[in-house]
Structure 1
Amino acid sequence: MTSPAERKVLHGIGVSAGTASGPVAIVTPAVGIDEHEPASVDLEADSQRVRDALQQVATSLTNRAEHANSETSKKVLEATAALATDRGLIKQIDKELKKGTGVTKAIHDAVEVYAGKLRKIGGYMAERVTDLYDIRDRATARVRNLPEPGIPTLEGPSILVAEDLAPAETATLDPDQVLGIITEAGGATSHTAILAAQLGIPAAVQVKGIAEAIANTPVAALDGGVGEVIVAPTPQDIEELEERSRRRAAALAGSSGEGATKDGHKVKLLANIGTADDAAKAAQYDLEGSGLFRTEFLFLDRDAAPTVEEQTETYISVLKSFGRRRVVVRTLDAGADKPLSFADLGPEENPALGRRGLRLSMAREDLLDDQLQALANAREAVEGAELWVMAPMVATVEEAEWFANKARGYNLPTVGVMVETPAAAIMSEQILSIADFASIGTNDLSQYTMAADRMQGELAELLIPWQPAVLKMIRETAQGGERNGKPIGVCGEAGGDPLVALVLVGLGVQSLSMAPGKVNAVRAALRLHDLQACKQMARLALESPTAAQAREAVLGAADPVLRDLL
């Protein structure tokens, strides 16, 4: 039993709700550069040595992909495996070796150069920096004949503690063995956060000082809803967490059926999906369809675009999974921030603000034409399908009109736009005089509004959905929808937070799309409050000068039972 003097409470960002307590398992850290290695004098031999190590890493990741617990996890592992043998990375390592740099330092220096390029590109490619560092650390360990970094063999159910957890690790976690996840780095929209939520594993990121705090203490407790971590918890702490879990279960009891507030105001609760496998699994949940089908997984890491037939097959599978429930498909969101080898528009000074999303589609109409034709084919093939189609990264009325005309030309009747830029939010009334609906991507809207890269963990506090500036952008969008009688949804991570969901509904949002495992808590939160209460909470949040004060004001106005859902 631990003494109260050893007890320490740390705070981070909760990214996957739930509570856990138990022994800690420390993820094996990276071995780093061999400080005593000789300079490279045989370029050919050293280059081959590195290539062999990278190939071994790629093979290992590919093998793990075959045993992944979901299609999404499989795709993450396969993409990381492909990155391990990327020709650009190998070429950069050879450049370092030519300087006479030692082998492990050459790997590290080359990866840092390559990571800088990915960060500059931004978006999806910036997210892959974590994957790249994982490859670096695994390859370095193999070159040094030392154990690879990663999750140790667990002797029993444990809470994982790490500086960060690579997607390759998170993708293959066993929820029966991993009680929770605590990391010092990471962000609310990182792979770790998203995958942990999908697996139902409580998780907190940005918990500064956790490694030092647990150095002499093998036990911790975690509340993944609020991001609280207790090192060396007392029996009372554990009892309170267990009681919180019981209260949460009670609050969730009976959460089923359509989403609606206490007074019957309807709010559609939908799932975010990325693959046909995701659709099949999400369709088993008690929810009302999918509010975001990310189609780029069909296009990424390929040498050629998928055919119309290949796409049609996937879309038919997704529509069949949901039957007569709504499926909102986002057309290809790629380009400068998610480069495609078969759709390279050339170098750009600032790719993160370049020709991505709809801008790429306008430059490569053939890609969009094929996708819209495949969607039209799938809609025709699946009787009763409710297919909505929306364009990513719309910023102007002209773009919205171009896409709407294009999509309707393929007999797709319900055509919308993503609101991910302040420009689209401000111009929502005019855009929604053309489009049939809008869906707010809170992740990108936050980063563009706050000028903060959503993959940079140090800026995580700027990117929480409570930022008043972001909430005002959402209100502006909702008002544009209301003036046109057009529905507004949210498909960013904010929609899965039960407390934020109340504010979003109060602002005028009519559908919320999230990880399927979050639907029950959001549905329960809505049924605790009537629409007027949601509107009052929205006003409190908008009037608050800071994000922290906004959350505190709303929490204070909410039904006390709601705390058990967080």
Structure 2
Amino acid sequence: MSELRGVGIGLGVAQGPVARMAEPAPAPADAPSTLSVDEEKARVTDAVAAVARELEARGIQAGGAAQEVLEAQAMMAEDPTLADEVDARLAQGRTGEFAVFDAFASFRDQLTALGGYLGERAADLDDVAQRVIARLRGEPAPGVPDPGHPFVLVAKDLAPADTALLDLDKVLALVTTEGGPTSHTAILAREKSIVAIVGAVDAKDLRDGETVIVDAAAGVVTTAPTPDELERALRRAEDRASASSAPITDGALADGTPVPLLANLGKPEGAIDAVALGAEGVGLFRTEFLFLSSAQAPTVEQQREAYTKLLSEFPGKKVVVRVLDAGADKPLAFLNDAHEENPALGLRGIRALRASEDILREQLTALAEADAATDADLWVMAPMVATVEESEYFTDIARDYGIKTAGVMVEVPSSALLADRILSYTDFASIGTNDLTQYTMAADRLLGSVASLQDPWHPAVLRLIREVGDAGRAHGKPVGICGEAAADPLLAVVLVGLGATSLSMAPTALADVRATLLKHTIEQARDIAAAALAASDAASARTAAQQAAAGSARTAAQTAATTR
């Protein structure tokens, strides 16, 4: 028996035989084509169109966040710039297969260098290219294996098109050797409630057919498990299934301290499922879906209709809406599409909106009108705030439009360090742990080569969160968490111990977080947070928190026994 460690997604545990993802097909040879340039162009055009339509169809079938990712991939496949690059190579007499391979590789390298949102798109380019090349060769598209029985899928990483449509009757668990807690694979696995461990580097040595236990709660893959270990894992899985079917209650700690559990949503259509899974409101509603697929900004009427649809699903409940978070790393022709050497540090978020203030004013108008037409408790926040002046600017302009509760997102270290001054003016803060981790550690959260640094458990990140929590407590202002960190059940306890007053996450993570919070009092949460803060790196912080949590659980059990 040995243990392979990675980053677990959720609290699930599963067991079964390994089935490895096939390695990518070999690169096409740079040999001259035997067809005419026009014939090769026709082949490539047909193949690209077919792949794009297949991706769109998979997106419709999958729905949710997966649909957004796959629609973006389909658009990428038919990107005019890429088409020009392919045509240039075809004009030199290359085959369609090599032209696609070489053009996509060149474009991927350019996007990887840019980082941020564009770097994320680069991570999907290889999959699109492989699918186009497979179609040109008349071969099946790369994808998930089917050994004919349930299995634990092991892969370097998964393309969104594969993750989105995993057959959950066959895929018992997912283990990847690359990726971090905020990668596409992790996000989609969490959304689909797949038992998953990402970034388990040593899983590359697992063999087809060998039995493993995948323990997401511990972030451990156990190889060659004993019969007793298999039995314990089975009992844990059964206990978790029973707990998930228990009546849904509001989020709270063991001593009754309320911790509202909210949903992160990208479209109004996700509201019904979120409520069914126990969301007490919305902690982050991303408005980008209205803008990113348009050649021009949506009208006030179009926005009002979408916001009204969302707010109507949450009468009397808090709904936190983030105004448009776009800019140089998510270029919009009507906002800012100027090239920047480092777009992650460029004109984005509130900076881009100030440069095109009419877009912000129209969005606030639509939000205020939707608020007046519904009974939800609307909160509105600005993204990527870095200074006190920016927070004052947004709070003032939001109030001018009748927004009753205006706040800011804390995603960069400067706003965390200045939280006491920011919260003296604005109504609330919401911490975006994905970007806060990226900027604190100077590690692009979408770049696999620095995945080990993209961990919100790092004490440097936790200290910044504590700064915001302390400021919120001092001013009597709410501090929410809306990054992926809130979906990690034990980290959720730590975040509450650091001062978070609400947690927002993918709706499928709500049950695990709710169950874990109920095991600890507020004092125990603070003790667990202190143990994590005392560590020197992310791994030891996670271990220290696990040990502290186990200690508090033993104390609770002893107290209960004494009381009886």
The bucket for the TM-score relative to the shorter chain is over 0.9
Helix, strand or coil for the counterpart of 1:67? Answer: helix
Does the CA-based 8 Å contact 1:17-1:203 persist in structure 2?
Answer: no
- Residue 333 of structure 2: aligned partner: 341
Match of 2:169 among 161, 176, 195: 176
Does the CA-based 8 Å contact 2:9-2:488 persist in structure 1?
Answer: no
Tell me, yes or no, if structure 1 residue 538 matches structure 2 residue 532: no
Helix, strand or coil for the counterpart of 2:9? Answer: strand
Tell me, yes or no, if structure 1 residue 78 matches structure 2 residue 71: yes
- Residue 89 of structure 1: aligned partner: 82
Match of 2:372 among 358, 375, 380: 380
- Residue 468 of structure 1: aligned partner: 459
Helix, strand or coil for the counterpart of 2:379? Answer: strand
1:399-418 equivalences under 5 Å are: 399-418=390-409
* Separation of aligned partners in 1, 2:546 and 2:145: 39
Cα deviation for residue 119 of structure 1 reads 2.5
Tell me, yes or no, if structure 1 residue 214 matches structure 2 residue 207: yes
Match of 1:479 among 470, 475, 495: 470
* Separation of aligned partners in 2, 1:213 and 1:562: 34
Q: How big is each residue's C-alpha offset from its partner over 1:22-60, in whole Å with a ceiling of 9 and x where there is no partner?
A: 233433443132237435884443333222211111111
Q: How big is each residue's C-alpha offset from its partner over 1:264-293, in whole Å with a ceiling of 9 and x where there is no partner?
A: 222111111111121221011223111011
- Residue 510 of structure 2: aligned partner: 519
Structure 1 unaligned residues grouped into runs of 5+: 1-6
- Residue 421 of structure 1: aligned partner: 412
Helix, strand or coil for the counterpart of 2:172? Answer: strand
- Residue 198 of structure 1: aligned partner: 191
Does the CA-based 8 Å contact 1:336-1:356 persist in structure 2?
Answer: yes
- Residue 397 of structure 1: aligned partner: 388
1:56-455 equivalences under 5 Å are: 56-68=50-62, 70-153=63-146, 155-215=148-208, 217-249=209-241, 254=246, 256-382=248-374, 384-455=375-446
Q: Which amino acid aligns with 1:443?
A: N
* Separation of aligned partners in 1, 2:150 and 2:226: 19
Cα deviation for residue 468 of structure 1 reads 0.8
Does the CA-based 8 Å contact 2:173-2:214 persist in structure 1?
Answer: yes
Distance 1:562 1:14, change over 3 A: farther
Q: How big is each residue's C-alpha offset from its partner over 1:333-387, in whole Å with a ceiling of 9 and x where there is no partner?
A: 11111112332341112111101111111111122122111111111111x2111
Distance 1:54 1:265, change over 3 A: same
Does the CA-based 8 Å contact 1:31-1:140 persist in structure 2?
Answer: no
Helix, strand or coil for the counterpart of 2:252? Answer: coil
* Separation of aligned partners in 1, 2:154 and 2:84: 34
Cα deviation for residue 154 of structure 1 reads 6.0
* Separation of aligned partners in 2, 1:126 and 1:224: 27
Tell me, yes or no, if structure 1 residue 47 matches structure 2 residue 41: yes
Cα deviation for residue 250 of structure 1 reads 6.1
Q: How big is each residue's C-alpha offset from its partner over 1:280-335, in whole Å with a ceiling of 9 and x where there is no partner?
A: 21011223111011111221132222222222111111111222221111111111
Q: RMSD of aligned C-alpha atoms?
A: 2.2
424-433 or 304-313, which deviates more: 304-313
* Separation of aligned partners in 1, 2:145 and 2:299: 42
* Separation of aligned partners in 1, 2:552 and 2:228: 21
Does the CA-based 8 Å contact 2:322-2:381 persist in structure 1?
Answer: yes
Task: Provide TM-score, normalisation by structure 1.
Answer: 0.92
What is the count of residue pairs matched by the alignment?
Answer: 554
- Residue 555 of structure 1: aligned partner: 546
* Separation of aligned partners in 1, 2:329 and 2:30: 39
* Separation of aligned partners in 2, 1:8 and 1:102: 47
Helix, strand or coil for the counterpart of 1:73? Answer: helix
Helix, strand or coil for the counterpart of 1:283? Answer: helix
Q: How big is each residue's C-alpha offset from its partner over 1:218-264, in whole Å with a ceiling of 9 and x where there is no partner?
A: 54331222332234544333212112223435666757322222222
Q: How big is each residue's C-alpha offset from its partner over 1:438-482, in whole Å with a ceiling of 9 and x where there is no partner?
A: 000001000100000111223222122221110111011112222
* Separation of aligned partners in 2, 1:59 and 1:532: 54
Tell me, yes or no, if structure 1 residue 490 matches structure 2 residue 484: no
Q: Which amino acid aligns with 2:20?
A: I
Distance 1:560 1:515, change over 3 A: farther
Does the CA-based 8 Å contact 1:175-1:200 persist in structure 2?
Answer: no
Q: Which amino acid aligns with 2:321?
A: V
Cα deviation for residue 61 of structure 1 reads 1.3
Q: Which amino acid aligns with 1:514?
A: M
Distance 1:8 1:542, change over 3 A: closer
Does the CA-based 8 Å contact 1:262-1:527 persist in structure 2?
Answer: yes
Q: Which amino acid aligns with 1:145?
A: G
Distance 1:553 1:227, change over 3 A: closer
Structure 2 unaligned residues grouped into runs of 5+: 555-564
* Separation of aligned partners in 2, 1:17 and 1:342: 43
20-29 or 550-559, which deviates more: 20-29
Distance 1:132 1:429, change over 3 A: same
- How many percent identity over aligned positions? 47
* Separation of aligned partners in 2, 1:320 and 1:228: 42
Does the CA-based 8 Å contact 2:524-2:552 persist in structure 1?
Answer: no
Does the CA-based 8 Å contact 1:30-1:148 persist in structure 2?
Answer: no
Helix, strand or coil for the counterpart of 2:313? Answer: helix
* Separation of aligned partners in 2, 1:233 and 1:310: 56
Q: Which amino acid aligns with 2:153?
A: L
Does the CA-based 8 Å contact 2:10-2:487 persist in structure 1?
Answer: no
* Separation of aligned partners in 1, 2:368 and 2:304: 8
Distance 1:554 1:12, change over 3 A: closer
Distance 1:154 1:331, change over 3 A: farther
- Residue 561 of structure 2: aligned partner: none
Q: Which amino acid aligns with 1:296?
A: E
Helix, strand or coil for the counterpart of 2:295? Answer: coil
Q: Which amino acid aligns with 1:10?
A: L
Q: How big is each residue's C-alpha offset from its partner over 1:472-528, in whole Å with a ceiling of 9 and x where there is no partner?
A: 110111122222221111111111112111211111110111111222222222222
Task: Provide TM-score, normalisation by structure 2.
Answer: 0.93
Does the CA-based 8 Å contact 1:11-1:229 persist in structure 2?
Answer: yes
Does the CA-based 8 Å contact 1:17-1:197 persist in structure 2?
Answer: no
* Separation of aligned partners in 1, 2:45 and 2:184: 27
